[in-house]
Amino acid sequence: MDEPVLFQFLPALKGRIPYVKLGDWPTPLEPMTLAGFPAAQVFVKREDASSRTYGGNKIRTLEVLLGHALLLGCRRVWSTGAYGSNHALATAMHAPALGLEPASALFPQPPVATAAENLAQLYSLNTRVHALSTVAAFPFRLLELMALARLRRDYVMLPGGAVTLGAMGHLGAMFELLEQVRGGLAPMPRHLVVPCGSICTAAGLLAGIAAARALGLDFEVPRVHALRVTPWPVTSRGRVLGLARRALALVACRGGPVLRNARRLLASTLVMHGRYLGGGYGKPTASGESAIRQHAAGIAFPLETTYSAKAMAGLLDLLPHLNGPVVFWSTKSGAPLQKLDMSRVQAAPRHVLRWLAKALS
């Protein structure tokens, strides 16, 4: 796909929403068979296959945000988040090809292997990493980066790229899904099941549903089931709906359609689920680990304990109660990671090395 599906459906946005191509679109939409549910109509949206360099759901966000950084003439892009941030690693893998220097400001999270793999990769890639020793320092570091951004020609992204522009990529993903349904790859889903961490994916899909309705497209509106993998208030219902509304407002002010009853439609479409979070962000759950053991061998996309395994556990729990076709959003990159340069990893600060050792033990 040469032109983003977003601009195919909303041509007024072309040239008015920044964009640079990073991913391989469209991502596959495939049937999925789950043990215990032989008759269920379950499909998976393979965002894990969005790039052979490094994929996952963050690529859609970065296509817009890195395009914006280039438009502003920035030289360095800062990703922010937890030690195991997929957004940070995706930035580090893709930004250099655009002539942008990647940098990361990260705070500690529970030490688990998949998070350690991401952090070790950042150091191995020789990315500029500011690994804070406590999460309490993060707000102050973020404010400092933002204050210095203009002087240094830096571009600072919030965790997960969860801003209005960042949601535009996932708004386009909803149009992509509708195109695939039109092409016969799956029936129109009644339910979308999405892990909700930085909220950008869930909010973008909600906005995409509303934008498609504003265009007069005739389809049965699916429910978006957002499964929290990050605690409230980061994943509060109000934040998700607010970001979706701002994305729709941006579409309207850039020449797209205006949906008069957006608030009502968005509120009736979103279903939040908090019981799959467990002990907190990054902390494995028994149900998530069970989902990995029981289903990892039978599916083609990755499951890991921070996001996708918790979402899969939620899907398995919800399936008996969901009527009609379901699409599960696979968000973790499936691209193989590069071989580590251990000399660079070993040069990390001592508190980082201690954290890595604990995570990999």
Mean predicted lDDT score pLDDT of the chain: 95
- Tell me what the mean pLDDT of segment 295-324 comes to: 92
Give the span between the Cα atoms of 253 and 187, in whole angstroms.
33
Q: What is the pTM of this model?
A: 0.96
Q: How many Cβ atoms are within 10 Å of 334's Cβ, its own excluded?
A: 18
Residues 276 and 218 in one domain: yes
Q: Which helix (H) or strand (E) holds 129?
A: strand 128-131
pLDDT band at 40 (very low <50, low <70, confident <90, very high): confident
Please check the confidence at residue 96 and state whether its pLDDT lies above 90: yes
Please check the confidence at residue 292 and state whether its pLDDT lies above 70: yes
**Per-residue model confidence (pLDDT) at position 294:** 87
Give the span between the Cα atoms of 5 and 87, in whole angstroms.
22
Residues 65 and 142 in one domain: yes
- Tell me what the mean pLDDT of segment 9-18 comes to: 96
CATH classification at residue 294 = 3.40.50.1100
Give the span between the Cα atoms of 337 and 275, in whole angstroms.
31
pLDDT-wise least confident of 19-23, 37-41, 162-166, 230-234 = 37-41
Omega before 233 cis (within 30°)? yes
**Per-residue model confidence (pLDDT) at position 259:** 82
Closest-CA residue to 270 (of 321, 323, 227, 329): 227
**Per-residue model confidence (pLDDT) at position 93:** 98
Residues 192 and 319 in one domain: yes
Residues 209 and 291 in one domain: yes
Residues 116 and 247 in one domain: no
pLDDT band at 92 (very low <50, low <70, confident <90, very high): very high
Residue 71: inside a domain: yes
Give the span between the Cα atoms of 311 and 283, in whole angstroms.
13
Give the span between the Cα atoms of 161 and 89, in whole angstroms.
13
- By percentage, how much of the chain surpasses pLDDT 70? 100
**Total structural domains in the chain?**
2
Give the span between the Cα atoms of 202 and 224, in whole angstroms.
7
Please check the confidence at residue 264 and state whether its pLDDT lies above 80: yes
Please check the confidence at residue 211 and state whether its pLDDT lies above 70: yes
- With beta carbons less than 8 A apart as the criterion, state whether 303 and 295 touch: yes
Residue 336: inside a domain: no
Residue 226: inside a domain: yes
42-46/270-273 β-pairing: unpaired
Please check the confidence at residue 1 and state whether its pLDDT lies above 60: no
Closest-CA residue to 197 (of 42, 311, 98, 113): 311
Angle at 272 between CA 216 and CA 110, to 5 degrees: 130
- With beta carbons less than 8 A apart as the criterion, state whether 111 and 82 touch: no
Q: How many Cβ atoms are within 10 Å of 2's Cβ, its own excluded?
A: 5
**Per-residue model confidence (pLDDT) at position 145:** 97
pLDDT in tens, 193-205: 999 999 999 999 9
Cα Rg of the chain (Å, integer): 19
For 181, the domain range is 5-56+164-330
Give the span between the Cα atoms of 197 and 139, in whole angstroms.
18
Q: Which residues of 118-154 are buried (b: 16+ CB within 10 A; e: fewer)?
A: bbbbbbbbebebbbbeeeeebeebbeebeeebeeeeb
Q: How many Cβ atoms are within 10 Å of 189's Cβ, its own excluded?
A: 24
Residues 299 and 154 in one domain: no
How far, in Å, are 41, 158, 359 from residue 33 at the CA level?
8, 36, 32
Residue 344: inside a domain: no
CA dihedral 42, 245, 5, 188 (to 10 degrees): 30
Residues 176 and 110 in one domain: no
Residue 340: inside a domain: no
Residues 118 and 213 in one domain: no
pLDDT band at 81 (very low <50, low <70, confident <90, very high): very high
Residues 256 and 202 in one domain: yes
**Per-residue model confidence (pLDDT) at position 36:** 83
Residues 157 and 177 in one domain: no
Residues 154 and 169 in one domain: no
Residue 90: inside a domain: yes
Residue 171: inside a domain: yes
Residues 255 and 118 in one domain: no
Token pair recorded at residue 205:
């899909």
Residue 339: inside a domain: no
pLDDT band at 75 (very low <50, low <70, confident <90, very high): very high
